[in-house]
Chains A and B, each alone.
Chain A
């Protein structure tokens, strides 16, 4: 910051409070932030870090139920804290714009995209409607949207998620603002879509020399986008540095732990005793109504191994789990356990099968009954499957809690609402283990969790597998997770298996084209990764 006139945003000692249970609790606890014109700052942190709240504050805006309790926010020298509402209104959309996480929810369903685009420039008196619409087509083209002349005349529900997110970025650019706040713009997208959106956002922001605050929880994404990175934890700043510096030499322990998450690799397993498969699927087709979601699935899982099923949304990977569990009867084909064909419907299976095959859900929040205490959550399967009662049951519940690294005395009488996200998922794991299963399906068990917590869960699952000789079917969209825990990898696309093999084999070329696309779309921590991939793809044509 050699030249102060270059300073666009200057936040000093900002405190923002939120109302909870009748009192004001700090969400942002005295943070400083400065941003030069044309600079991109990455805000990174886990949920509850206050990154969105801080981002919105740069527009002089707080969500309802929140208030700015102290500090100052200066945009190009102009103080926003305590500024009249009318002043702030003239600023929003014109000089500072916002790109929300879910474009589908942030576009008004009643109007065409281009009408929503031109609203800000026309209302702020920047240009006429005709000029704005001409300009929109230009920006749509820059955002690499298909049919830029025509796409603006569609309604939001007629456009796909990735395109909508790019249209929203174009809308934010409409008045050529000095600053854009990107609030997790690609979090809801599949990786192959994410890469296109990232590339388009970066191109437009750089070409127009627009400053940006890029909020995300994904380090690899922020590495591609930001000039500088600021790490937040529970409303406090941990550290801030230039991107390459931060990636290569993080100073604080918390930052180092964030960086280390992706390094976890478990030791490979050799197939158990006979190497006989424990679970086999033969020619399975399945559909919801007339929509076919699984098409000719063949796979077999070896005892004691972890099979990772990877694919994007709509690939049918979760349906696969439902078919195995007997929740969705297949149209055709069979599921067998230890060579014995299972009934297609769970309720027709015998208790032994129901006990031996367990499933852990993605959302631990909805997988635990909010009215049941931990004692009951873990006690019921013990009673139901193993007929345990009284002191034996109590002792086993405590043992299970110890296994998932939760202190029995503290947790046994708690309700799910008194647990953190990671603790809830641990309880769900313990509930599955209570049945003493052989085969456990993990359906995106870490995708709703922060990365450090998720890593803890992966390590726990790995330890339990070694101790209890479990076999896992691990469903995920995250290739980093696959790299961490899989022995065998199955890649799915549109209800079909496009490739499967041992982990090393799948991750080594030659790949199936879809696997190639998937692998090359996963952001890496290297700040030059996005340029590299784009160059490669351009070269490949």
Chain B
């Protein structure tokens, strides 16, 4: 077996094992709840029958490991059980909202990733110039600002003062694509600003490291043009570090999404999760956490594998 296939498979296996462990952690949340859920939810006056029915409905009977397997198998098929607070199937609640959240995150990522990488590279190439210092200062500020502060400044500017974009990102199933882009512009911009700041700083650092390497100096000494040194000699070797930077920033994106959805009252998974935590509606919290965690783990794993493939030493073994 080629080493690259071997490493890829082992990363894949590691990702799946991590996912399983995380799912165990998430599942055990309901076990760790203090007191008995059934009596807590139904009140002290509940009859034996209603409690038994409740336990049946929420899958609280039987040994723990059997219930875990059942829960996981159902979850993989998209069935997360029913909500504690309104007794509706969670998959119904989640489907539309998860779509909205992924839409927003992808929207932000598509704007943020190219901007961050281009700006980071420019800052690295012209380091210590006025441009670099301005960008570095601006990103330091953006990193230090809480997400909601950025959001409110944008609202104040683009919504309240100029009236260009709505301050509430209300969308539903019937909203058209272009309309959706327009209404979610401010939340996407907020996320972009936060993620770009982090990603740009890291890209800059990665490129500066690379430019100090002997083979980049060698390219200069061979009389290559500046752009060629960057594009042909530095960039192909920058793929792995840049992929890592992008992967690291997915964490900011996931956290950012939750907060930004709340600020803009956007009907996404984050909003639902926060409400469920307040109501202690454990099945919904579990479902949302599982989706967020799985996305994060899978994206990280993909980035990991991509950066392995980008390594010429593994791609062309001895």
Contact = CB atoms under 8 A, between A and B. Distances in A.
A89 B225 CA distance: 7
B175 to A, nearest CB: 45
B214 interface: yes
Contact of B222 (A56, A105, A119, A158): A119
Nearest to A61: B221
A367 interface: no
A248 interface: no
B313 A109 contact: yes
Interface in B204-256: 213-215, 217-225, 228, 233, 236-237
Interface in A450-493: none
Contact of A108 (B220, B233, B316): B233
Contact of B223 (A56, A105, A120, A155): A120
A175 to B, nearest CB: 9
B223 A91 contact: yes
B220 A105 contact: no
A158 B224 CA distance: 25
Highest count of chain A CB atoms <10 Å: which of B215, B225, B228, B313: B215
B35 interface: no
Q: Main SS of chain B's interface residues?
A: helix
Interface residues of B, number: 20
Contacts of A386: none
Given A89-B223, A93-B224, A109 B312 contact: yes
A498 interface: no
Contact of B214 (A56, A92, A102, A158): A102
Given A110-B236, A110-B312, A158-B318, A105 B213 contact: yes
A97 B219 CA distance: 11
Nearest to B215: A108
A269 interface: no
Contacts of B236: 110
Contacts of B318: 157-158
Highest count of chain A CB atoms <10 Å: which of B218, B220, B224, B312: B218
Interface string B34-62: 00000000000000000000000000000
A116 to B, nearest CB: 9
A107 interface: yes
A109 B215 contact: yes
Highest count of chain A CB atoms <10 Å: which of B220, B222, B313: B222
A106 interface: yes
A100 interface: yes
Interface string A114-143: 000001100110000000000000000000
A97 B223 CA distance: 9
A203 to B, nearest CB: 23
Contacts of B214: 100, 102, 105-106
Contact of B224 (A56, A61, A109, A119): A119
Size bracket of the A interface: 20 to 34
A224 to B, nearest CB: 25
Interface in B283-318: 312-313, 316, 318
A94 interface: yes
B215 A107 contact: yes
A157 B222 CA distance: 21
B223 A92 contact: yes
A61 B215 CA distance: 15
Interface in A142-172: 155, 157-158
Contacts of B220: 61, 92
Given A105-B213, A105-B215, A93 B223 contact: yes
Contacts of B215: 105-109
Interface in A182-199: none
A106 B214 CA distance: 5
A98 interface: yes
A99 to B, nearest CB: 10
Nearest to B310: A110
A89 B223 CA distance: 4
Given A105-B213, A157-B313, A158-B318, A92 B221 contact: yes
Contacts of A92: 220-223
Contacts of B217: 106
A93 B221 CA distance: 6
A77 B316 CA distance: 46
B228 to A, nearest CB: 7
A90 interface: yes
A133 to B, nearest CB: 16
A107 B312 CA distance: 13
Contacts of B233: 108
A310 B233 CA distance: 40
Contacts of B223: 89-94, 120, 123-124
A392 B63 CA distance: 72
Contacts of A102: 214
A123 B224 contact: yes
Nearest to A104: B214
A59 interface: yes
A524 B51 CA distance: 95
Contacts of A158: 316, 318
Nearest to A120: B222
B312 A123 contact: no
A155 B316 contact: yes
Interface in A248-299: none
A413 to B, nearest CB: 35
B313 A108 contact: no
Contacts of B225: 89, 123
A247 to B, nearest CB: 31
Contacts of A100: 214, 218
Contacts of B219: 108, 119
A104 B272 CA distance: 55
11 contacts: A61-B220, A61-B221, A89-B224, A93-B223, A98-B222, A105-B213, A106-B218, A110-B312, A120-B222, A123-B228, A158-B316
Interface of B: 213-215, 217-225, 228, 233, 236-237, 312-313, 316, 318
Given A93-B221, A98-B218, A119-B224, 11 more contacts: A89-B223, A89-B225, A90-B223, A91-B223, A98-B222, A100-B214, A106-B215, A107-B215, A109-B312, A119-B219, A120-B223
Q: Which 7 A-B pairs have the closest CB atoms?
A: A92-B223, A93-B222, A93-B223, A105-B214, A98-B221, A110-B236, A108-B215
